[in-house]
Amino acid sequence: MRSLLIYVFIIIANLYLAQGQDLRYLHFSDSIISQINNQHSERLNNYKLQNGDISLYEKIYERRKENLEKAFSDSLFVYDKLIYEGIDHCLQKISTSNEAIQEENYTILVSNSPIANAYSIGGGTIILNLGILRKIRTQGELAFIIAHEIGHDYKQDVDISAYRNLERLDSEEFEDAIDRIDKEKYNRRAQLETFFKRLYLTEMKFSRQQEIRADSLALKFILNANYDYRYSISTLNLLDSIDFYTFPAIDYSNTLGFEDYPFKEKWIIDKSDLFSMAAESPDEDTKALKSHPDVEERIARLKLITEVKADTTTEFFNPRKLPALKSGVDLDLAFIDSWEAQNNYGRALFFSLKQLEAQADNKQLLRRISKLFDKIYEAQNSHELSRYVESPGPYQEATYKEFITFLSRIRLSELEMLIYHFHLKNSGLLGQDEDFLDTLNKYKLKIR
């Protein structure tokens, strides 16, 4: 069995502590890239034995290598010893229990992305986003996610999709269709949009079929590894839950309201309007644009597969009976940092204030909020707020839309007062923190 993961001894020389947070970034490593390149060479050799001409696959793998090297240079991958040990444990257990994938090599990387997602990029490389690790509770759930991505890799889904697209772009039919539209006198733009939408819908339908198959394979893989089949369903349910509700709603009058400077209701949308702000249910056309089937559909399919197995046991299923996914860092704080790293100060501050509702004495959290408030103030002061805070839109979750409405409505002088009083209120906890006190004094001078 030759399943590979990036071990500490391979990468320890290529780590450095990220400023202001506990996660470590993975730097570009010849060892890591060499490992991935070896995996890619094996896959290309297999394609050559199967197909002969691998010129398109060589283009795909060369671009993939370039993208990975750029991701390393942009510090997009992070490392935590306990997280990687958990990943390695699941990978080894799945690989050794499934003959079909025992001889495959895999590299799993953790991306500093707050989006709750995991994906195979083909060639044996799998990416787990920080946002999905934040939601996973146990090794059983992690195992299903890894098994799902191995399912994609086993069926060569990413390579096949990339090959289909390149082959289509190089085809005479594609060129002829573009030429015909180009020669039209009227409505060329509309015809182009229709043409590309049709192609996109075809690919999304193909992608949804791949997802359903990967779910089935993942279930088979985890069953062979002696994981309870119900982890497949609990994981999908977990991923379908809304991130916004990990912590309580923001109590504006308490968290951002002060005795000498009460929170003003005019800064946010009236509570009676919140229902109208909720995202509309997607229609059939919107569903057709999705790359993944709805979670309800995926769960229903897995339940059909596992129906017989469900009758073989009466034990109460506790999704936490397996060891919890361990981490050497606070993943909720790292989640906030990853939004900030993407220059999305609005989401970073929103999640920070929600967490503060449950952890009012969290000094690390208060330091992050202090820096985020200051960055948002400077962005508004330089008329660049739109670069760092999203504008309210019709499909945003209601409480988040309320929050960014507040950030867009509050005037600069009002924001100065709010930031000052927030720091004054929490200075007792951070009275020895120089950066926090410097920010307090900065806004004390501004409001004089």
pLDDT tens, residue by residue, 58-115: 999 999 989 998 898 888 999 899 999 999 999 999 999 999 898 788 999 999 999 9
pLDDT tens column, 317-343: 565 667 778 888 889 999 999 999 999
In this prediction, residue 111 carries a pLDDT of: 94
Q: Are 119 and 127 in contact (CB under 8 A)?
A: yes
The mean pLDDT value for 409-427 works out to: 96
In this prediction, residue 15 carries a pLDDT of: 40
Taking 80 as the threshold, does the pLDDT of residue 231 lie above it? yes
Taking 80 as the threshold, does the pLDDT of residue 253 lie above it? yes
Query: Which is more confidently placed, 401 or 198?
Result: 401
In this prediction, residue 290 carries a pLDDT of: 58
Query: Which is more confidently placed, 399 or 53?
Result: 399
Report which listed range, 117-121, 165-169, 268-272, 301-305, is most confident.
117-121
Averaged pLDDT of the chain: 84
Query: Which is more confidently placed, 252 or 178?
Result: 252
In this prediction, residue 309 carries a pLDDT of: 55
pLDDT tens column, 353-369: 999 999 999 999 999 99
The mean pLDDT value for 284-298 works out to: 67
Taking 90 as the threshold, does the pLDDT of residue 426 lie above it? yes
Buried b (16+ CB within 10 A) or exposed e, 225-257: bebbbbbbbbbbebbeeebbeebeebebeebbb
Return the biggest CA–CA distance within the chain.
Answer: 76
In this prediction, residue 16 carries a pLDDT of: 39
Q: At 244, is the pLDDT very low, low, confident or very high (cuts 50, 70, 90)?
A: low
Query: Among candidates 86, 77, 91, 2, which has minimal Cα distance to 32?
Result: 77
In this prediction, residue 319 carries a pLDDT of: 59
Give the span between the Cα atoms of 86 and 245, in whole angstroms: 26
pLDDT tens column, 3-57: 555 443 334 334 433 434 467 887 767 778 888 888 999 889 988 888 778 888 9
- Range of lowest pLDDT (40-44, 276-280, 348-352, 412-416): 276-280
